[in-house]
Amino acid sequence: KAGVTQTPRYLIKTRGQQVTLSCSPISGHRSVSWYQQTPGQGLQFLFEYFSETQRNKGNFPGRFSGRQFSNSRSEMNVSTLELGDSALYLCASSGTAQGVGNTEAFFGQGTRLTVV
């Protein structure tokens, strides 16, 4: 069974640009959550999607957005990039095809975004 796949693994963007990151959850999982990891702030929750609907949202500006497709794949978008957006972006998948909450969240390897 394949794990959580995030693409791309590394990305370099310029300030002011926008970026789209992709996450494919474990087959059968319907919940996808996104986290930002930085040395200063640690791991911070961005948002969670379940069955194509945003279910939870963290305290990030509106420049950070996401969506989930009918196959549970999720994308997050960051517009008007700032230097401070440089981070490791991790996605986690959980939940079963039956929609019953699963106790375990499995993480992908992350996308390392560098804004210059």
Partner 1 sequence: GEDVEQSLFLSVREGDSSVINCTYTDSSSTYLYWYKQEPGAGLQLLTYIFSNMDMKQDQRLTVLLNKKDKHLSLRIADTQTGDSAIYFCAENREGSQGNLIFGKGTKLSVKP
Residue of 21, 24, 48, 66 interacting with partner 1 (CB under 8 A):
48
- x-marked contacts with partner 1 along 19-38 as a string, rule CB under 8 A: ------------xxx-x---
Residue of 23, 76, 81, 92 interacting with partner 1 (CB under 8 A):
92
Residue of 65, 79, 86, 102 interacting with partner 1 (CB under 8 A):
102
- Round to the nearest angstrom and report the end-to-end CA distance of the chain: 37
For 12-61, the DSSP string reads: EE-TT--EEEEEEPPTT--EEEEEEEETTTEEEEEEEEETTEEEEE-S--
Question: From the CB of 54, what's the least distance to partner 1, in Å?
Answer: 10
Amino acid identity, residue 109? Q
Nearer Cβ to partner 1 (19/110)? 110
Q: Which of 116, 113, 105 is nearest to 19 (CA)?
A: 113
- Residue 52 binds partner 1, judged by CB under 8 A: no
Strands 74-78 vs 10-13: parallel, antiparallel or unpaired: unpaired
Nearer Cβ to partner 1 (19/90)? 90
- State CA 103 to chain mean position distance: 19
Where on the chain is the footprint of partner 1 (CB under 8 A)? Answer: 4, 6, 31-33, 35, 42-43, 45, 48, 50, 55-56, 58, 90, 92, 94-95, 101-110
